[in-house]
Structure 1
Amino acid sequence: MYADCTATPAHAPALPARLPVAAALIWLCALLASAAPWFGDLDPAALVAAFWTFDVDYYPSVLAHYSWAPRVAISILIGLGLGLAGAVTQQILGNPLASPTTLGVEAGGQFGVTVATLFFPGLLAFSPDLVAVAGGLLAIGLVIALTWRLGFSPVSVILAGLVITFFLGAVNMAFLLLKGEWLGNLFIWGAGSLVQNNWQPFMDLWPRVLVLGALMIALMRPLQILQLGQSSASSLGARVGMIRLLALLLVVLMSATVVSRVGVVAFVGLAAPVLARLLGARTLTARLAWSSVLGAGLLLLADTLAHWASTWGNGSLVPTGTATALIGGPIILLALQNFKNTHHMPGQADGPAGFLPARRSTLVVGGLLASFLLLTMAISMAWSPGLEGWNWTTPAQWGEAWVWRGPRLLAAVLAGVALGLAGTLIQRMTGNPMASPEMLGISGGAAVVMVITVLIGADIGRAGQIGAATAGAAGALALLLLLARKHRFAGNQLLLGGLALYVFMDAGLRLVMASGGTVASRLLNWMYGSTWLISESEALGLMVLILLIAALLLLIIRPLTLLPLGETSASSLGLPVPRARLALLLLAALLTGAATVVIGPLSFVGLIAPHLARVLGQQTVGRQLIVAALAGGLLLGVADYLARTVIYPNQLPAGLLAALVGGLYFLWGLSRHGRA
């Protein structure tokens, strides 16, 4: 990790030729692709002149001056700013995968704008930058608070930032679903669009970007001292904490200013510095300079591709944020191949022994959870609000109430059971207690396939959806295991690979959101677990599927017990390790795919339920599977009941409530580990 170097070279390393060549190619392709549609109407000289003048009697010249030229200019400006901000972020945190996006700054900025739109519209009229900066500061403050005691280890920072992004995104979606008539256009904007119709946005933005960029560059010498390590830098008189705080403040200001003007242009701040390092930028000066240059070129190229896609799509808007996310995802995967992390993973103790609860009877614990689950189902069927207020539904009337309450409740409970089982399988298979279908990108893989299905308008029915989601989940986990093979399936590579898959899922979601209409509404409802869409036949079919898989799990208790011993030990005990891993992979994918179709991809139940089983004293594989399944069913059963009643007559998706609770639990667990 480059920020922990203890020695500096006597002279700056030579700059590889591939770096300027690659930057020149990116810029050339971006400029030519952006200008190509205009060559039929304007010659190259007239296109260049469109940046400062136009022919009032020739409409293409007017259009180029007021539409094309400011769009190119603002793309370059924002790319320069975000590339520089990303390089500074990586330097101050010593984390080659840190960026304003992965630290939750952009999600925080959008959260600030959303809250201000609903509750403090006067602040937006005064300054949209102010509320975006406040949201960005909130996000980065949470990340710093959670990872401070872990020394900003790369994996911990990325995980905290990712969950902050999940959590704030879930809150944003709750506002959108409740106040869609007020926030619809806001979320189309949030997908990230650089469409311009005059020069005013550019003129407003360039002084801010210039000043903030100059201040970041002024910090170059203090940032270079940080390369000596915290102890050495402090001994030389550097106030390390103050330098980091000031630099992070500048990063937040830069990112939030951009978000407030053009929306979330995702992953430029990550892709540009990572690409600069991959191409050979070694010194801090080179990284800052080339990250800025590459950021401008990448964003211009992404915006041009988004514009082309909008044209090919019969005018349907393709957000620039989608294109940048699709570029950023592969760059993350490239970076993972050379990423090395010497810090421990959250949940893997390298110091004092962690909390190990006393063993408890599975019969007693399982009986209590089953009783609570039955009680939840009975209350859900019997005690609900209506037109005349809250009232009891007698058991004799449950047959009539079942049509409205039963299928969704049954489907939610079954999805919780499936995620509890899948989470236990994944945590046992990877040996990482912080792993889950959500954090490993397995749910994201299922979601990507579902998004594609929605985009192409395929009507494949619920069975087809489960099959497609299972294929996406299996493909995602297989890809992650393939990528992590050279690292011997270390948990950090798996988790950071899951981040890359989340990028693709987020890109597809933003694309559909920007399209608006009923398709976007359907996908949003599904993404956050709208159980009211479930029919009785679908719920019963899901129950049969879960029961069959649960029966198969009886056969994998021995493999799950032996795999944590290591490949050599497991093989010596007669376990065919590759086949066992493949079987576990398929079972986890099938469970995740079935649950994702019902409850959406971001519920965190797959993370919480196995932990609850451990807390309740279930340490062996079979006992943990049983209790995790019951705990998952109980969590989503309660979530579905609350989602149906808490804001009656409106409804919240059950998966959204579970994601909010699950995100808080994950953050609490991360902070608790930091205190260990």
Structure 2
Amino acid sequence: MKQINRKQAKFRTSWQLIAIFGGGIAVLFVLSILSLGFGEAEIPAAIVMDGLLSRRDVMEHNLLWDIRMPRTIIGLLSGAALAAAGALLQTITRNPLAASDTLGINAGAYFMVVLGMVAFPAVQQQFPFLLAAAGGLLAALAAYMLSGGKGATPVRLALSGMIVSMVLGAFTSALHIFNSTKTQNLFLWGSGSLIQLNWDGVQFAWPFILALLAGAMFAGRQFDTLELDESTARSLGQRVDLTRAIGLGMSVLMAAIVVSVVGPIGFVGLVAPHLVRLSGIRKHSFLIPASALWGAILITAADTLARMVRSSVGEMPIGAVMAIIGGPWLIWLVLTKVRNISGSGSGQSSMSIGGAALRMRFAPTAISIALILLATIVISLSFGGTRIPLSELLGSVAGASDSSYSVLLNLRLPRTLVAALGGIALAISGVLIQSAVRNPLADASIIGVTAGAGFGAMIVLVALPTLTIVALPFAAMAGGIIAAAFVFFLAWRKSLNPSVLILLGIAVSAIGSAGIQVMIIKASLWNTSAYIWLTGSTYGRSWPQFYTLLIFLLILVPIAYYLARKFDLLAFGDESSIGFGLPIRGTRLAAMILGVLLASAAVASVGTIGFLGLMAPHVVRMMIGHHTRRSIILSGLLGGLLLVLADTIGRTIMAPKEIPSGLIIMLIGAPYFLFLMYRSMQKKG
């Protein structure tokens, strides 16, 4: 009987390998022919085959060999490298959501390439791969260590990678805005582009990628042992840490090579290895080449699709197409395949980030912050491209002076008040969303609201530019609410599990960000007010935005304050909360809805400002501990103060040129956020 079972197992394995490799090669051949044929000038398949077999000096054959072939080959190499890197990273981290993009490798490599273009153009031109590899390695190490290393759960790893990507994205956006002339050509490349003008990219990449793939296949048995329990692997004489280091190095190098040639492309390393693993293949000597094969298929299919659906203004970036393909895949993976999403233990549901609260007295603290906010608003009105003396300012405000500064003041006052109310809304939104998902590292950007709102706004900016002023806030608000509603709908069957909400939000954010990238490139908006709006800007804000925000705050904040006692119970975990008689799903949904509405209203008024909804609640939690009602008041005041300061600095430091407020918040929040992750990791340790 055992011999029969073994024969049946070998028979199944043989057919699996034939299906994966044989079927994959057949599909890849067909897709490659389609890829070579589609473009601005379509080439029939018969001419493609004729050109491949016997090239002649005719236009079609020259186009095929000099333009289309390099693009197709670099696509095959890129897909193979990213997929193999993803397979290795999933094994090394023992985490099904690991890939070059979820670990921040792509973002790190992209940042270093942009930095090299601005600060070290000679080095960037000669050694782009070295800069990309350095950035990718540092980002991967940061994400891996901040997530808790080998014991990281899928949600914590995904969060850490997203955080590192957001931090690096903040600095990359700053480089783009301040050096738009130097980096304009990098914007399309930064969305992932396989366009090749010659064979240089292929000639550079293929030796490295093939050598690394061969090395990974050769070390397949060592990587197999990482699937075992660590103590078992060590007892078999395996040097586990060395194997992990080698695998990480190979993964980073493969991803960095791809980024240095075609830019950051996500989801290939997540989707392709899972497709192969679903077939039952586990041994790395087969898993790595099979993942490489299906990664090449994915990239080639996405690139062909992008050219097939090209519009009058060109084709979609390959990175955006892969996000549109990979986002639904991640959603399906989270809902059906990922088991140990959040781990266990009290630490997983704690709202603490390590360290004891300062236990500051609430009333004096609230009064102090409110007075500082009021003073900052008044002082902010005097700063900008034209300074207003404080005496003239106070006279204009009091109506006792007919100063020539009154017109200027009427422009600055609503702008400053919008900044204050926007900061209040974002900070309170952060308090509510963190309570709902029971994770101190969450805010509106994590659950897809920010990307959805940005996508809604971009639709108006690109498709209906004549309606921009009137329709922009409503479109942004609608986009944020629709994105959040979609996440809630998908997570409902999982009882709105906090970790499921976060992972689904990451997937929806990726899809929304892909749509934003496409529209920016299509409409050439990378050096316009629309792109600056996406980074968060209070420029040109007027009384209508102020009144809109005020109405939302007057309606939603009292409701949140009334329900805050129930939201407090969510921090104890689902079992404890149910024991207290709390309806978990309804309470969590109420907190999320209030947080989403506040965030959507803020984004509609001041653009997509990140990190503010993370920073303010954390600072307050360190001051007074976990107390939702008090956190709503203090976080709101602190959020308003931070955004008013950012607005003042942005319009003063480089006057008359303005720095977007959201960019200043990012540059402040990014290091602080890394500090929070470090504290959280220390607490877990």
CA apart distance, 1:162: 1.0
Paired residue for 1:340? 339
Question: 1:675 and 2:682 equivalent?
Answer: yes
Q: Which amino acid aligns with 1:452?
A: I
649-658 vs 465-474, greater mean Cα deviation: 465-474
Paired residue for 2:563? 556
CA apart distance, 1:600: 3.1
Provide the rounded CA distance (Å) in 1 between the counterparts of 2:437 and 2:40. Answer: 55
What SS class does the counterpart of residue 102 from structure 2 fall into? coil
424-433 vs 173-182, greater mean Cα deviation: 424-433
Residue number among 399, 403, 410 corresponding to 2:410 in the alignment: 403
Q: Which amino acid aligns with 2:338?
A: F
Provide the rounded CA distance (Å) in 1 between the counterparts of 2:134 and 2:346. Answer: 28
Residue number among 311, 328, 331 corresponding to 1:330 in the alignment: 328
Asked if the contact 2:37/2:44 (under 8 Å) is kept, the reply is: no
For structure 1, which runs of at least 5 residues remain unmatched after alignment?
1-9
Q: Which amino acid aligns with 1:505?
A: G
Paired residue for 2:28? 27
Q: Report matched runs for 1:158-307 at 5 Å.
A: 158-307=158-307
Change (3 A) 1:231 1:192: same
What SS class does the counterpart of residue 50 from structure 1 fall into? helix
Change (3 A) 1:441 1:663: farther
Change (3 A) 1:469 1:513: closer
CA apart distance, 1:145: 3.7
- Residues 215-243 of structure 1 deviation map (CA, whole Å, 9 limit, x = unaligned): 22222121111112322223333222222
Paired residue for 1:142? 142
Change (3 A) 1:578 1:248: closer
Q: Report matched runs for 1:78-157 at 5 Å.
A: 78-148=78-148, 151-157=151-157
CA apart distance, 1:527: 1.3
What SS class does the counterpart of residue 539 from structure 1 fall into? helix
Q: Report matched runs for 1:519-538 at 5 Å.
A: 521-538=528-545
Change (3 A) 1:50 1:148: farther
CA apart distance, 1:171: 0.8
Provide the rounded CA distance (Å) in 1 between the counterparts of 2:536 and 2:608. Answer: 8
Change (3 A) 1:38 1:141: closer
Asked if the contact 1:529/1:655 (under 8 Å) is kept, the reply is: yes
Paired residue for 2:474? 467
Provide the rounded CA distance (Å) in 2 between the counterparts of 1:608 and 1:353. Answer: 12
171-180 vs 479-488, greater mean Cα deviation: 479-488
Provide the rounded CA distance (Å) in 2 between the counterparts of 1:673 and 1:618. Answer: 15
Q: Which amino acid aligns with 1:465?
A: L
Q: Which amino acid aligns with 2:81?
A: G
Asked if the contact 1:274/1:331 (under 8 Å) is kept, the reply is: no
Q: Report matched runs for 1:439-454 at 5 Å.
A: 439-454=446-461
Question: 1:617 and 2:615 equivalent?
Answer: no
552-561 vs 135-144, greater mean Cα deviation: 552-561
Provide the rounded CA distance (Å) in 2 between the counterparts of 1:346 and 1:156. Answer: 14
Q: Which amino acid aligns with 1:402?
A: L
Provide the rounded CA distance (Å) in 1 between the counterparts of 2:54 and 2:416. Answer: 64
Provide the rounded CA distance (Å) in 2 between the counterparts of 1:42 and 1:439. Answer: 44
CA apart distance, 1:142: 2.0
CA apart distance, 1:629: 1.1
Provide the rounded CA distance (Å) in 1 between the counterparts of 2:42 and 2:476. Answer: 47
238-247 vs 354-363, greater mean Cα deviation: 354-363
- Residues 79-133 of structure 1 deviation map (CA, whole Å, 9 limit, x = unaligned): 1111111111111111111111111111111111111111111112322212211
258-267 vs 513-522, greater mean Cα deviation: 513-522
TM-score (norm 1): 0.89
583-592 vs 149-158, greater mean Cα deviation: 149-158
CA apart distance, 1:474: 2.6
- Residues 637-676 of structure 1 deviation map (CA, whole Å, 9 limit, x = unaligned): 1221222223333222111121232232222112112212
Change (3 A) 1:593 1:289: same
CA apart distance, 1:275: 2.6
CA apart distance, 1:48: 2.7
CA apart distance, 1:445: 2.2
Q: Which amino acid aligns with 2:174?
A: A
- Residues 267-287 of structure 1 deviation map (CA, whole Å, 9 limit, x = unaligned): 212221133234443333343
Asked if the contact 1:513/1:520 (under 8 Å) is kept, the reply is: no
- Residues 614-646 of structure 1 deviation map (CA, whole Å, 9 limit, x = unaligned): 222153332221112112111211221222223
Asked if the contact 1:51/1:70 (under 8 Å) is kept, the reply is: no
Change (3 A) 1:458 1:320: same
Q: Which amino acid aligns with 1:334?
A: W
Asked if the contact 1:403/1:536 (under 8 Å) is kept, the reply is: no
Change (3 A) 1:492 1:238: same
Aligned residues: 663
Change (3 A) 1:360 1:42: closer
Asked if the contact 2:349/2:572 (under 8 Å) is kept, the reply is: no
Q: Which amino acid aligns with 1:321?
A: G
Paired residue for 1:4? none
- Residues 419-470 of structure 1 deviation map (CA, whole Å, 9 limit, x = unaligned): 1221122122222222211222222222232233334235545564333333
Provide the rounded CA distance (Å) in 2 between the counterparts of 1:390 and 1:27. Answer: 70
What SS class does the counterpart of residue 533 from structure 1 fall into? coil
Q: Which amino acid aligns with 1:213?
A: L
- Residues 522-550 of structure 1 deviation map (CA, whole Å, 9 limit, x = unaligned): 33211111110322332233223322322
Q: Which amino acid aligns with 2:640?
A: G
CA apart distance, 1:375: 2.1
Asked if the contact 2:496/2:588 (under 8 Å) is kept, the reply is: no
What SS class does the counterpart of residue 489 from structure 1 fall into? coil
What SS class does the counterpart of residue 466 from structure 1 fall into? helix
Asked if the contact 2:80/2:296 (under 8 Å) is kept, the reply is: yes
What SS class does the counterpart of residue 238 from structure 1 fall into? coil
Change (3 A) 1:304 1:393: farther
Paired residue for 1:664? 671
Provide the rounded CA distance (Å) in 1 between the counterparts of 2:346 and 2:514. Answer: 28
Provide the rounded CA distance (Å) in 1 between the counterparts of 2:186 and 2:106. Answer: 14
Q: Report matched runs for 1:478-489 at 5 Å.
A: 478-489=485-496
**Backbone CA RMSD of aligned residues:** 3.3
Paired residue for 1:48? 49
Provide the rounded CA distance (Å) in 1 between the counterparts of 2:243 and 2:476. Answer: 46
Q: Which amino acid aligns with 2:632?
A: L
What SS class does the counterpart of residue 528 from structure 2 fall into? helix
Provide the rounded CA distance (Å) in 2 between the counterparts of 1:51 and 1:582. Answer: 58
Change (3 A) 1:205 1:530: same
What SS class does the counterpart of residue 228 from structure 1 fall into? coil
Paired residue for 1:601? 608
TM-score (norm 2): 0.88
376-385 vs 31-40, greater mean Cα deviation: 31-40
Asked if the contact 1:174/1:656 (under 8 Å) is kept, the reply is: yes
Provide the rounded CA distance (Å) in 1 between the counterparts of 2:124 and 2:636. Answer: 46
269-278 vs 354-363, greater mean Cα deviation: 354-363
CA apart distance, 1:477: 2.5
Q: Percent identity?
A: 31
